[in-house]
């Protein structure tokens, strides 16, 4: 049941971030190109599970995209808003699909489930 709620939460985040992105008239092409960009941070796993989990998790928490959104809103910086919304949508998508933050024991061990 908890996993279902967390996946629904991810769906809600994905839907809201995507709606806000397109309501503001931002580029659909840019959205498509950058939606999976945070997954580049999987590269940390080339240096082991410990570093891989830390690098991946840094890119898959809401802290950085929320900072970008806050700065974008505060300074009317559309680029920061776009990137923050895309990044937030990505994290929501991952959560919806059951991909969570990684444990240092291995890539398939997440806070949502064992993949």
Residues 72-105 as b or e (16 or more Cβ within 10 Å = b): beeeeeeebbbbbbbbbbbbbbbbbeebbbbeee
- 85-92: average pLDDT: 98
**Each residue's pLDDT tens digit, 24-62:** 999 999 999 999 999 899 888 889 888 988 999 999 999
* pTM score over 0.85: yes
């Amino acid at each position: 049941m908890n996993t279902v709620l967390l996946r629904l939460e991810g769906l809600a985040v994905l839907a809201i971030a995507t709606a806000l992105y397109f309501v503001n008239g931002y580029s659909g092409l840019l959205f498509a190109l950058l939606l999976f960009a945070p997954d580049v941070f999987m590269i940390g796993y080339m240096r082991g599970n410990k570093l891989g989990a830390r690098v991946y998790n840094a890119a898959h928490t809401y802290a950085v995209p929320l900072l970008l959104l806050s700065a974008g809103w505060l300074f009317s910086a559309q680029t920061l808003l776009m990137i923050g919304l895309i990044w937030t949508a990505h994290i929501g998508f991952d959560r919806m699909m059951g991909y969570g933050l990684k444990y240092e024991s291995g890539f398939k061990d997440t806070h949502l489930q064992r993949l």
